[in-house]
Amino acid sequence: MPDGATCVLDGTSVAGNVRVGSDATFDAGAVDVDGDVQAEGARAVDMTAASVVQGNIQVEQGGSSTVTDTRIDGNLRWEAQSDPLVAEHNTIDGNLQAEENRGGLTVADNTIDGNLPCGSNDPAPDGGGNAGSGDREGQCSDL
């Protein structure tokens, strides 16, 4: 998806990866992505409403991101985001990792089979009610 663009998907299947350009907005509901969702410098990346990502979601050096009611077969990673981040009611087969984010982070009511490491986020993450077999580390140790 080009820099600065806005893409809204509802009930769509994507065969392959989604790359969100700089200053772009990606809003996906009830979407099935056959690969990864990758964003660097994006304004917003939202995955909601029973979406499925068969790879990873990786969002770096951008604005906000909300991932709710989504199944992720890989990892969810947020790094150096400036605006609010929300992960609620997801099933994540891999890790949920949050590092160096500045807009606030809520991690609540997820099932995470991998680890939940968080560090250098300001403010510190909040939430709770997360389940899974992995370790909770750093700022997410009590979530």
pLDDT at 1: 87
Tokens of 44: 């917003």
How much is the mean pLDDT over the chain?
97
Residue type, position 29, single letter: G
The first and second tokens of residue 18, run together, are 């989604």
Which percentage of the chain shows pLDDT scores above 70? 100
pLDDT digits (tens, 9 = 90+) for 82-125: 999 999 999 999 999 999 999 999 999 999 999 999 999 999 99
Mapping DSSP onto H, E and C, the string for 60-72 reads ECCCEEEEECEEE
39: nearest Cα among 27, 52, 57, 16: 57
* H or E, element range at 98: strand 96-99
Model pTM score: 0.97
Average pLDDT, integer, range 50-78: 98
Whether 86 contacts 67, CB under 8 Å: yes
- Each residue's pLDDT tens digit, 40-52: 999 999 999 999 9
Looking at residue 63, what is its pLDDT? 98
Q: Compute the distance between CA of residue 21 and CA of residue 12 in angstroms, rounded to an integer.
A: 19
